[in-house]
């Protein structure tokens, strides 16, 4: 049911998504600084400075994210064309063998569109245990059983 709702809901543009994500990051960092007793304005400035060049990063993310969506758009368009052409051949094809070609094209188009959407939905579906609190206040997690990062391991090998 949720996947059906997602299918018909108007999808936000990649720009909006990136913007919202980066704004969330800077807002969270600002809140973190504020909780340390720093003024709101100073916290905001520190968070923005720590983040780096927002507009350049946004542009880069949109460029990378668009590449992926463009490929999906191309695939969708190709399968849709196959479906429509197949349907036209099936309806208006003068001979039996042309009708059969139409059937095959309709099948390829329909299955292709289904697969593209299934892939998109499948890639975004999380199991119910994924929405756990992040536990940002817990002690840092190490990279191996002894809590060492790869860099610590290099140092300890020395």
Partner 1 sequence: MRTNRTDIMQGTLELLILKTLSREPMHGYGIAQRIHQTVDDLLKVEDGSLYPALYRMEARGWIASEWGASENNRRAKFYKLTRAGRTQLDAQSVNWERVSRAVMRVLGAT
Q: Contact at 8 Å (CB) between 102 and 83? A: no
Distance CA 13, CA 9 (A): 12
* Site stretch for partner 1 (CB under 8 A), options 72-80, 83-91, 102-110, 119-127: 119-127
Contact residue for partner 1 among 3, 13, 16, 68 (CB under 8 A) = 68
Site string for partner 1, 22-51 (x = CB under 8 A): x-xx-xxx-x------------------xx
Q: Which is nearer to partner 1, 81 or 115 (CB)?
A: 115
Instruction: Give the distance, in angstroms, between the CA of residue 115 and the centroid of all CA atoms in the same chain.
Output: 17
At a CB cut-off of 8 Å and minimum separation 6, what does 79 contact? 108, 109, 110, 112, 113, 116
Distance CA 98, CA 84 (A): 14
Q: Contact at 8 Å (CB) between 107 and 90? A: no
| 145 makes contact with partner 1 (CB under 8 A) | no
User: Which of 4, 141, 14, 128 lies closest to 67, judged by CA?
Assistant: 14
| 134 makes contact with partner 1 (CB under 8 A) | yes
* Site stretch for partner 1 (CB under 8 A), options 33-41, 63-71, 76-84, 85-93: 63-71
- Smallest distance, partner 1 to C-beta of residue 94, A: 45
| 124 makes contact with partner 1 (CB under 8 A) | yes
**How many residues of this chain interact with partner 1, rule: CB under 8 A?**
45
Q: Which is nearer to partner 1, 27 or 42 (CB)?
A: 27
Buried b (16+ CB within 10 A) or exposed e, 65-89: eeeeeeeeeeeeeebeebbeebbeb
Q: Catalog residues that contact partner 1 under the rule CB under 8 A.
A: 17-18, 20-22, 24-25, 27-29, 31, 50-54, 57, 60-61, 64-65, 67-68, 123-126, 130-134, 136, 139-143, 149-151, 153-154, 157-158
């Amino acid at each position: 049911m949720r996947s059906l709702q997602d299918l018909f809901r108007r999808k936000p543009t990649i720009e909006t998504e990136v913007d919202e994500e980066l704004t969330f990051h800077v807002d969270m960092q600002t809140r973190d600084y504020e909780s340390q007793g720093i003024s709101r304005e100073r916290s905001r400035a520190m968070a923005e400075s720590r983040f780096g060049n927002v507009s350049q990063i946004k542009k880069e993310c949109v460029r990378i994210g668009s590449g992926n969506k463009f490929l999906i758009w191309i695939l969708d368009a190709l399968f849709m064309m196959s479906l429509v052409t197949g349907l036209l051949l099936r309806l208006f094809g003068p001979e039996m063998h042309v009708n059969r070609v139409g059937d095959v094209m309709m099948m390829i188009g329909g299955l292709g569109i289904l697969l593209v959407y299934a892939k998109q939905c499948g890639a975004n579906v999380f199991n119910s245990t994924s929405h756990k609190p992040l536990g940002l206040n817990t002690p840092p997690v190490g990279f191996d059983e002894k809590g060492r990062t790869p860099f610590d391991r290099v140092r300890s090998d020395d």
